[in-house]
Structure 1
Amino acid sequence: MELRQFKYFLAIVDSGSLSRAGQHLYVAQSALSKQMADLEAELGAQLLVRSRNGVTATEAGQIFYEYAQGITKQIGDARSAVHCSANAMVGSVLTALPQSVAAPTALPLMRAAASRFPDVNFHLNEELTGNMADQLLRGRVDVGIFSKAMSPDDVEFIPLVEEDFVLLCSAQDPQAPGAPTVTLEEAIARPLVLPGRAHGHCTRTIVETVLIDAGKSMPKVAAEINSVHILKTAIQAGLGSTIMPYALAQREVEDGRLTAHKIDSPDLHRTLGVCVSRHLPMTNAKQAIRRLIADVFRDLCTSGRWPGARVIPGVTVD
């Protein structure tokens, strides 16, 4: 396989058309067709389906697409590294963070990266946790902000912050607790709205683990919603309550649309940190962004701009 075949394949899938891909790449459509036929022959699998409506990836093609994105990114990074000095702070770093972490951290991270490392092409993606874990392992993502949920053989995890969970209810819910603090039993007394298990590594899985360890049954799930925005809207509409970090809904609580209740359970919190693949090289830019994330998280916690979160002491990012 050649690098150009990866690029051609990605362009075809992204554009949904051989002709549009050819125009974008300045390559004849016939040449693209031959390259794709050669690629499919080498892999022994059909990657693309051609129809009157355009070109789409087969199931095998979708799998290959994920790897092709990671491979082309890593080759681009390798070229940048080779052409720069050993101490140069250049290149691209794609950082992914879960939806439930984005609200307090995304803008401060972007501002800090632009200020401290103007020559680093810093990308920040908000992702479902199930997707993010897969992308990190396949090389599409350089740095992930995650909980300790992946194999230590594949991923290096440096814990940075602990964040408490609260019970979130609609401000118009007549059955919502009247007290600012509730017991774990009270928090799970009614059906909950939660992310799906495949994308709840940083939230739902933690709640379920605490309940299992406490010998309690998981309450009925009123709905599974993987969008943070839609989940909060569902809570406001009275579809149910949820157990999430406070920062996820700080604005809605301050605006009087949701109520937040502290849960009297010392174990109901999550540990967030930076993750990198152990199978990919650590560039200067990637290491710099890891340190930047640690610095920004520390500042957000100590300044009170990340309510409910606290820095884990004694952790260094080398």
Structure 2
Amino acid sequence: MELRQLTYFLEVVKHKSMTKAAESLHISQPALSKMIKSLEEELDMTLIIRSNKTSELTDGGVIVMEYAQKILSQIEELSTTLNDLTSLKRGSIRIGLPPIIGSLYFPSVMAEFHRVYPNISITITEYGGAKVVKSVEEGEFELGVAVLPVDEEEFNIYPIVEDEMKLLIHHEHPLASHETIQLSELMDEEFIFYHEDFALHDIMWERCIQEGFEPKILFKSSQWDFMVEMVGANLGVTILPESICNRVENKQVKIINLHPITPWNLAVITKKHKYISYAARTFIDFFVSK
């Protein structure tokens, strides 16, 4: 069995199509089919059910996929470990980052890090907070930025931000004159909520349930500035971290304290018992110190 066979097999799994996988790998479809066929013959088992439009895995194919991912991940880890021997003259970091966080804290830190370590490449992928945690756990990213809490037995945690949630309502709303509002007072309001992929969705949903009501959601978004504009148009209320509220310039929107206080704390996370490249460790130290 060759590593190339496993790499090609995973590409077919990823695209669910021989044609698309071949295009991605820049090889001919017959060559790819032959490679997959040779892997199946070596294992004496059909791995992929082929049709005109898609390629689906058999039960055996699912098992091979899982082991192939582990094997190739370990090969990549080996390569990363050896690259560390050449110090930080080169390196790469893969980071998972929720969009709502990226615009707040990362641009200035990234720019400064790049000036200090110009030969380290950084690949940032934007996912919702829950998906970032899952992707770090599965090894897609070396590190991610997540909303706490996360499983402390599963992850190393490096706190970076302590914040709390605030209410945003239209300035003509009957509650707009209040300095502090009980969350339970909002049970009849229509909420502009976060998409389910975001940690904020679960945090505020659970907090509302604890306060005795299920929030009435008018619509969901992943863009905080769009959510603010909807509040400014008097379409509903929303709840956002204070650090985001500090950027709100819409004069139609009033920002009010919420009780009970709901924390919004951020941390860089890495998976425990997994090798973290020297470049990534350097980035963590650099970012946490800011």
TM range (shorter): 0.7 to 0.9
Q: Is the 8 A contact 1:146 1:274 kept in 2?
A: yes
- C-alpha distance 45-248 of structure 1, shift in aligned 2 (>3 A): farther
- C-alpha distance 160-122 of structure 1, shift in aligned 2 (>3 A): same
Deviations 1:249-290 (CA, angstroms, capped at 9, x unpaired)? 544x3133533212243x311221111011320221111111
Match of 1:248 among 231, 244, 248: 244
One-letter amino acid of the structure 1 residue matched with residue 152 of structure 2:
P
**How does the TM-score come out when normalised to structure 2?**
0.79
What's the Cα RMSD here?
A: 3.7
Q: Is the 8 A contact 1:163 1:269 kept in 2?
A: yes
Secondary structure of the equivalent of 2:144?
Answer: strand
Match of 2:211 among 216, 219, 229: 216
Deviations 1:90-149 (CA, angstroms, capped at 9, x unpaired)? 322111122321221131232123112222111222211222122111100111111334
Secondary structure of the equivalent of 2:289?
Answer: helix
The answer to whether structure 1 residue 228 and structure 2 residue 219 are counterparts is no
Deviations 1:2-21 (CA, angstroms, capped at 9, x unpaired)? 43234324544666754564
- C-alpha distance 289-234 of structure 1, shift in aligned 2 (>3 A): same
Aligned counterpart, 2:154: 154
- C-alpha distance 101-283 of structure 1, shift in aligned 2 (>3 A): same
Aligned counterpart, 2:117: 117
Aligned counterpart, 1:190: 189
CA distance in 2, matches of 1:235, 1:62: 46
**How does the TM-score come out when normalised to structure 1?**
0.73
Match runs of 1:257-276 below 5 Å? 257-265=252-260, 267-276=261-270
Gaps of at least 5 residues in structure 1 are 297-318
Aligned counterpart, 2:197: 199
CA distance in 1, matches of 2:187, 2:175: 12
Q: Is the 8 A contact 1:165 1:246 kept in 2?
A: yes
Match runs of 1:130-145 below 5 Å? 130-145=130-145
Secondary structure of the equivalent of 1:169?
Answer: strand
CA distance in 2, matches of 1:59, 1:170: 54
Q: Is the 8 A contact 1:81 1:91 kept in 2?
A: no
- C-alpha distance 103-25 of structure 1, shift in aligned 2 (>3 A): closer
Aligned counterpart, 1:93: 93
Gaps of at least 5 residues in structure 2 are none
Secondary structure of the equivalent of 2:85?
Answer: coil
Q: Is the 8 A contact 2:88 2:117 kept in 1?
A: no
- C-alpha distance 67-276 of structure 1, shift in aligned 2 (>3 A): farther
Aligned counterpart, 1:292: 286
CA distance in 1, matches of 2:167, 2:66: 37
- C-alpha distance 140-190 of structure 1, shift in aligned 2 (>3 A): same
Q: Is the 8 A contact 1:98 1:145 kept in 2?
A: yes
Higher alpha-carbon deviation: 31-40 or 229-238: 229-238
- C-alpha distance 20-145 of structure 1, shift in aligned 2 (>3 A): closer
